[in-house]
Amino acid sequence: MKVLHLCICLLIAFSGARGFASEPSADTDPLSGVTGLLAQEHQHSRPSTPPMSLAELETAALANNPEIRVAMRRVAIAETRVRSAGSLSDPEFMYRGWGIPLAKPWDLNQTQHMFMFNQSLPGPGKRALRTQLASEEVEQVKAELEAKKRDVTAQVRKTFYDLLRKQEELLLHDEQAALARQSSESARIKYVVGRVPQQDVLKAQIALTKLVEHLVMLEQDGGLARARLNTLLGRDPGSPLEVLGEYSPPQKLPALLDLEKSALENRAELAVASSGVEQGEARTKLAQKAYTPDYYLNAGYMLMPDGARYRNTYMAELAVTLPWLNRGRRDAEIAEAQADLSVDKAEYDNQRALVFEEIQEALIRAQSAKRLVDLYSQTLRPQAQATLKSTVAAYQADRTDLLNLLDGQNTTLEVELDYYRAASELESRLADLERAVGAPLTRDEQESNIRGPQASLPQITPEVH
């Protein structure tokens, strides 16, 4: 019986010891699992190359972009064709031996030797029209080169601001991570002294882990933008590259009529279509010149056989084509050239309509993006900053819980990120508008440059009494 009582007492004592061991200890730190991860994730590598500005990137792209180089070679090829377009055809030399006796084929003294020189001469005006046609082709290829340059410049500008936005978001992320660490430390201290439940500490841990996830996505998007920009510069996509700049939106966007007028003068695609019309006109004139006859000149020296009265003689020939005898073919060629010219004019009108539509769409998007930037900079950002400062002060004074503090941090982070996205989107839309117009926009009057982040985030200094 005494043995039974002893076993029961030991069992009760063992169960109590296990229950005491299962209680949370004041020395346990729930954040120890994420602290090392954050310390590792937030150690950003420093750039090994000096950062490049937007002007430097555009200059490098215009000099080294592969597509621009291909277009420049096409211009060089087209220029070489101009010199040969109006040239004469190759002259011909001909030897003819007449009257060679079959009985004595080696007796060249009985042969009539003829040395001929032939040259064809196109009708008046044909060579000039061919040269004009080749020159218009050069202008067309040059316009295509300018269009490619403008397209590459727009892509460089848009990718530059994408990468700049990622860098600004990374700085903002570091500030938010520092604030989250302060919140977590405050929650841990309050949990140790028993002022907050353990779930507040776990929520702080989740918030820190979400920031690590956000950092991973930021680095991914930044790497993709860096690879695109390196490709546009004609460099290896994996080359290190950092950018340096700021957002400088114009205070006022140009009017639609001014943009359309500028596009008619500067848009490379319209220049290509206009050159096509001029080529069609030159081809039509050349087809009409087919009724002008061509000439063939032949001149030669003849050495007559022995015994001839005159052994040294010469000959001259003039041949003229008669194109009006082949009127059906010439009229068909003229009708085909005129039909091609009407197609070229229709293509120009269509291209102009497409350009005007592109300008209208780009202007609408730019205006919307500018309104968003103004909304974030003048209203949402100050409101989010004020709300976060108020929440931090309330949390320090124990007038609110950690959930409201984390919600304020997330709201501020989303507003700041949306602000930089809107600023980058505005620059991208301005790049699209410049590409649609074919010329850079005037930015004489600018708003204050957008830097980031503008205001320092509040500091959390927990006071434990």
Q: Is the pLDDT of residue 335 over 90?
A: yes
What order of strands is seen across the sheet that includes strand 312-320? 92-98, 112-121, 295-303, 312-320
Q: Which of 175-179, 221-225, 226-230 has the highest mean pLDDT?
A: 226-230
Q: If residue 121 lies in a helix (H) or strand (E), which one and from where to where?
A: strand 112-121
User: What percentage of residues in the chain have a pLDDT greater than 90?
Assistant: 29
Dist. CA 456–CA 175, nearest whole Å = 8
Dist. CA 415–CA 383, nearest whole Å = 10
**101-123 pLDDT, tens digit each:** 787 877 777 788 889 999 999 98
The answer to whether 420 touches 218, Cβ cutoff 8 Å, is no
Q: Is the pLDDT of residue 273 over 80?
A: yes
Cα–Cα distances in angstroms (integers) from residue 80 to residues 40, 135, 272, 404, 461, in the given order: 60, 10, 19, 73, 75
Q: Which residues contact 219 (CB under 8 A, 6 or more apart)?
A: 170
Looking at every residue in the chain, the average pLDDT score rounds to 80
Residue 453's pLDDT band (cuts 50, 70, 90): very low
pTM of the model: 0.71
The string of DSSP letters for 201-261 reads HHHHHHHHHHHHHHHHHHHHHHHHHHHHHHHHTTS-TTS---B---B--BSSPPPHHHHHH
The string of DSSP letters for 374-396 reads HHIIIIIHHHHHHHHHHHHHHHH
Q: Is the pLDDT of residue 31 over 70?
A: no
Dist. CA 174–CA 76, nearest whole Å = 51
**398-440 pLDDT, tens digit each:** 777 766 777 777 788 788 888 888 888 898 899 999 999 988 8
Dist. CA 160–CA 373, nearest whole Å = 18
Q: Which residues contact 459 (CB under 8 A, 6 or more apart)?
A: 179, 182, 392
**161-212 pLDDT, tens digit each:** 988 888 888 887 777 777 777 777 777 777 777 776 777 677 777 777 777 7
Complete domains list, the chain, with CATH: 46-89+129-292+328-437 (1.20.1600.10)
Residue 378's pLDDT band (cuts 50, 70, 90): confident
Q: Is the pLDDT of residue 9 over 50?
A: no
**33-53 pLDDT, tens digit each:** 444 555 444 555 556 678 899
The answer to whether 292 touches 124, Cβ cutoff 8 Å, is yes
**81-104 pLDDT, tens digit each:** 888 888 888 899 998 888 777 878
Cis peptide before 105 (omega within 30 of 0): no
* Unique residue bearing structure tokens 């919307």: 368
| Burial class (CB within 10 angstroms; exposed 0-12, middle 13-18, buried 19+) of 135 | buried
- Predicted confidence at residue 7, as pLDDT, reads 45
